[in-house]
Structure 1
Amino acid sequence: MAMKVKEVSELASISVRTLHHYDEIGLLVPDETTSAGYRMYSDANLERLQQILFFKELGFSLKQIKNIIDDPAFNAEEALHMHKLILLEKRQRLDQMIATIDKTVLHLKGEIKMTPKEQFQGFDFSQNPFEQEARQRWGDHAVNEANQKLMHQPADKQKELSNQMNDMFRRLAALRHIAPESAEVQAEIKQWYMTLNQIGSYSPEAFKALGQMYVDDERFTQNIDQFGEGLAQFMANAMAAFTDTRI
């Protein structure tokens, strides 16, 4: 049964103006418009709107969402599975952070003694914050491949990769005061390159461009510099040096 725009607005808790905007940019065009000009949304429209809102929740731009959903290779079921995995992981991190807050309150009261490791449980900066920009710069292939690989890996393997990436950030932070071209730094950067290619497909050129993104976007810089001030710039320089010896 077709629904009017006001009904869809109330159902999905988004404004009528937003739905009009989605129509104007071709993101969500209602299957029917009455002779009086009323937009009428079908069940298929509602399914598409649900996908739009899932991707929006994960931080994708409207342009990216349109490109992804309109891709002939887009599979709604696979996308829902991906959404679920990401949300479950987010919920797990939030649960960890809540537990850390509770422990920290007790720690401040002197009722328990927290180890440094316990103080930072739930803070995980190894998650890939570059998915949106990677889609824009290199298309969906590398990112989709990475998502497929991650989806088919057991939880313990995903956790292992997360810990591995955190450890590499810390080791690189400890080396950031020496030359990016040095053998010691390049050995670590080679490991970084190999690790990224466990969950994606990055050519040397894409790897260098990814490093440049670490400094071009302040959000990435802030995330990476949590491990040490200036780490993002240092990694960008080291990744460029790594690539320049291979092309």
Structure 2
Amino acid sequence: MKIKEVADLVGISVRTLHHYDEIGLLPPEEITESGYRLYSEENIEMLQQILFFKELGFSLKEIKKIISSSSFNRQEALILQRKMLVEKRKRLDKMIVTIDKTIKSGRGEIEMTNEEKFEGINFQDNPYEQEARERWGDSYVDTADKKLRKMSQDEQTDLSERWDMILNKLADLREQPPESREVQETIKEWYEFLNHNFSSYSPDMFYGLGQLYIDDERFTKNIDKHGKGLAEFMSEAMKIFAVNQK
């Protein structure tokens, strides 16, 4: 698509797209000899990500850092963005109710306490915002790499064996309900294993990781080596575990 077509599709200016290109946030797939900027489907998908993050209050500098991270995953980003937008919607709904009450109060129809005047006005961070900032920061990958580099060959072998052991154990439990006690205890082992050896996963991030097991065919293929349908089974069990932690 040409730059004007993209601008019209999204509802932003051509100047904005020029700016995104200039700062290295969204370079077009190709610039023709005549100087036309051509945008691919991948460019369009990345633009969607940029605008979602922008709506959620991230600066262009922060967005560039996030989407340039080697650990960035579009599907995982969408899951977290949805949570952030739902949280934002809840706050806005509360503020609208407070405004309606305030209008009635100004007409003398009702009385409001000082506490009621500020319901929904919350300047605390969206609980998922810091998670998004940390999830795709350099520290996520660096921490895991440093841990692996510090391990001896024997330690790396032990880690691999532990990995296989838990997945094989879960594969043997596939016929049980994912909410069963034994399955949940084993999923807890997986949660603690990942947190101890690779990075720090909150329950919500663990939930999102489980979704990736079925959304990303690379995850699915690797996990299903231990048993057909294991990725889908683990995904459901991980979601149940994450919800139960709240």
TM (norm. structure 1) is: 0.51
1:103-150 superposed Cα distances (whole Å, 9 cap, x missing partner): 122223332232333222111122259959x76xx8554xxx899545
Partner of 2:123: 125
Please give the per-residue CA displacement for 1:161-191, whole angstroms capped at 9, x wherever unaligned.
Answer: xxxxxxxxxxxxxxxxxxxxxxxxxxxxxxx
Q: 1:41 to 1:26 in 2, by over 3 A?
A: same
Instruction: State the SS of the aligned residue for 2:98.
Output: helix
Alignment correspondent of 2:22 = 24
**What residue is the counterpart of 1:60 in the other structure?**
58
In 1, Cα distance between equivalents of 2:202 and 2:73: 12
The residue number in structure 2 matching 1:49 is 47
**Counterpart amino acid of residue 11 in structure 1:** L
1:151–1:108 CA distance, 2 compared to 1 (3 A):
farther
Return the letter of the residue paired with 2:79: H
1:203 — aligned with what?
none
Residue 114 of structure 1: aligned partner: 112
| 2:69–2:138 contact (8 Å) kept in structure 1 | no
Where does 1:92-103 land on structure 2 (aligned, <5 Å)? Answer: 92-103=90-101
Q: Distance in 1 between matches of 2:105 and 2:112?
A: 6
Q: Distance in 1 between matches of 2:36 and 2:201?
A: 39
Residue 67 of structure 2 is matched in structure 1 by 69
Cα separation, partners in 2 of 1:78 and 1:64, compared to 1, 3 Å: same
What is the correspondence of 1:1-247 to structure 2 with a 5 Å cutoff?
Answer: 3-127=1-125, 131=130, 141=140, 148-150=202-204
State the distance in 2 between where 1:96 and 1:78 align: 28
Cα pair distance change 1:72/1:58, threshold 3 Å: same
In the TM superposition, residue 77 of structure 1 has moved relative to its aligned partner by 1.1
Structure with bigger gyration radius: 2
Structure 1: runs of 5 or more not aligned: 154-247
Q: 1:90 to 1:146 in 2, by over 3 A?
A: farther
Q: Structure 1 residue 24: deviation in Å? A: 2.2
The runs of 4+ residues in structure 1 deviating greater than 6 Å are: none
**Unaligned segments of structure 2, at least 5 residues:** 141-198, 208-246
Amino acid in the other structure paired with 1:58: L
- Post-superposition shift, 1:8? 0.6
| Distance of aligned partners of 1:151 and 1:99 in 2 relative to their CA distance in 1, 3 Å threshold | farther
Aligned residues: percent identity?
56
Structure 1 residues 16 and 71: alpha-carbon distance in aligned structure 2, compared to 1, 3 A threshold: same
> The residue matched to 1:125 in structure 2 has which SS?
coil
Structure 1 CA distance, aligned partners of 2:126 and 2:55? 16
Contact 1:85 1:151 in 2 (8 A): no
Contact 2:28-2:43 at 8 Å conserved across structures: yes
Q: CA deviation at 1:5?
A: 0.6
| d(CA) in 1 for partners of 2:4, 2:83 | 32
Opposite residue 115 of structure 2, the aligned amino acid is K
* Partner Cα distance (1:124, 1:73) in 2: 31
